[in-house]
């Protein structure tokens, strides 16, 4: 009896939240994002047809995976399975994690043992950009590298790579931050990134106030970087709350996000919505995680206590 050998590769990506600078980063302003240990696994197997979770691969249901395969895969058909702890459309980077883990798994199938982070992050950004029509490399770089990542206009210490797209230039750095506990609050309302990014774009194009707000968010992120360097949790928290107010004035908050941010105000250093907004999650910085989580729950959200994850994308089985 002959045995058929199928090659199977499993790649796992962390999720992420944005600590400072979402939306503004799309216009080249700085941002700081944190990888978290919510795993998204892609299981890729050589197969007779391209499928995702048993369904024929198609643009409508699997835009990111299809684009990754179309642009970066030269081999035969692959069956992809997604096993994810990352809630979708919640601001925690599920599309970036799918893209990054898919590309890593494909590279594994092609015989690569070690992930080359820079090349992978750049390909993942191109996939996200082409699916969403507009994006920054924040989510894809954070899921690739893990840890904490800072995007800046200029190269500085601990530079990882540089991404140029149209008029924008982002220098992506590894950032060390003080030991801190964050609590996420999920509104369980879906926020669609491309819709929120397009909404801010329309406002930016017609309003000087919106353009000024984007610049102010950029300045806050630079200040936050200094506060992180000093381990000044009080200053970081205050800047988070200020950043939230600017995001609200851009029109990307909603009632539930406001409710959750308000609910944690007396238990945390500061809080803000995180990611594209319009639903999704908020994040609080606190040294009383249990009480903060309870306050989120009492206000109708789903809390999750998280710590930054050291691990970026990796191949766990080949």
Minimum separation from the CB atom of position 317 to ligand MEV (A): 29
Pattern 164-193, ligand MEV, x by CB under 6 A: -----------------------------x
Instruction: Decide if 53 is catalytic.
Output: no
Check if the beta carbon of residue 264 is closer than 8 Å to that of residue 183: yes
- What residues between 21 and 50 interact with ligand MEV by CB under 6 A? 22-23, 25-26
Out of 85, 139, 167, 287, pick the active-site residue: 139
Residue of 143, 276, 284, 285 interacting with ligand MEV (CB under 6 A) = 276
Q: How far apart are CA 181 and CA 174, in angstroms?
A: 19
What is the bridge-based pairing of β-strands 51-52 and 78-84?
parallel
With residue 9 as reference, give the H or E element that holds it: strand 8-20
Q: How far apart are CA 40 and CA 214, in angstroms?
A: 31
Does residue number 138 form part of the binding site for ligand MEV (CB under 6 A)? Answer: yes
Does residue number 275 form part of the binding site for ligand MEV (CB under 6 A)? Answer: yes
Measured from the CB atom, is 11 or 18 closer to ligand MEV? 18
Pattern 223-262, ligand MEV, x by CB under 6 A: ----------------------------------------
DSSP letter string over 159-174? Answer: EEEEEEETTEEEEEEE
User: What are residue 302's DSSP bridge partners?
Assistant: 186
- What residues between 76 and 115 interact with ligand MEV by CB under 6 A? 91
Q: How far apart are CA 87 and CA 252, in angstroms?
A: 19
Residue of 102, 136, 268, 309 interacting with ligand MEV (CB under 6 A) = 136
Check if the beta carbon of residue 297 is closer than 8 Å to that of residue 107: no
**Going by C-beta distance under 8 Å and a sequence separation of 6 or more, which residues neighbour residue 237?**
268, 269, 270, 271, 285
Minimum separation from the CB atom of position 49 to ligand MEV (A): 32
**189: which 2 tokens?**
């309302």
Instruction: List interacting residues with ligand MEV (CB under 6 A).
Output: 18, 22-23, 25-26, 91, 135-136, 138-139, 193, 197, 275-276
Catalytic positions, written as ranges: 139
């Amino acid at each position: 009896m002959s045995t058929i050998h199928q090659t199977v590769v499993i790649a796992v990506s962390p999720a992420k939240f944005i600590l400072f600078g979402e939306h503004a980063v799309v216009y080249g302003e700085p941002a700081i994002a944190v990888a978290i240990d919510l795993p998204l696994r892609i299981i890729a197997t050589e197969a007779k047809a391209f499928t995702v979770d048993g369904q024929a691969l198609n643009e409508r249901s699997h835009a990111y995976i299809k684009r990754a395969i179309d642009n970066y895969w030269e081999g035969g058909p692959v069956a992809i399975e997604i096993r994810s702890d990352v809630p979708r459309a919640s601001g925690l980077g599920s599309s970036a994690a799918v893209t990054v883990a898919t590309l890593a798994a494909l590279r594994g199938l092609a015989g690569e043992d070690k992930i080359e982070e820079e090349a992978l992050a750049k390909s993942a950004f191109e996939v996200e950009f082409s699916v969403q029509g507009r994006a920054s490399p924040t989510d894809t770089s954070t899921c690739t590298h893990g840890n904490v990542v800072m995007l800046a206009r200029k190269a500085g210490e601990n530079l990882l790579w540089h991404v140029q797209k149209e008029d924008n230039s982002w220098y992506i750095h590894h950032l060390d931050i003080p030991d801190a506990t964050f609590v996420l609050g999920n509104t369980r309302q879906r926020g669609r990134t491309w819709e929120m990014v397009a909404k801010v774009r329309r406002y930016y194009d017609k309003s000087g106030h919106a353009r000024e707000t984007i610049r102010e968010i950029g300045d806050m992120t630079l200040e936050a970087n200094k506060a992180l360097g000093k381990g000044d949790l009080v200053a970081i928290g205050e800047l988070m709350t200020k950043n939230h107010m600017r995001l609200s004035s851009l029109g990307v908050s909603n009632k539930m996000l406001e409710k959750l941010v308000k609910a944690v105000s007396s238990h945390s250093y500061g809080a803000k919505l995180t990611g594209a907004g319009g639903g999704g999650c908020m994040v609080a910085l606190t040294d009383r995680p249990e009480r903060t989580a309870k306050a989120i729950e009492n206000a109708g959200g789903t809390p999750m206590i998280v710590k930054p994850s050291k691990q970026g994308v990796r191949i766990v089985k080949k």
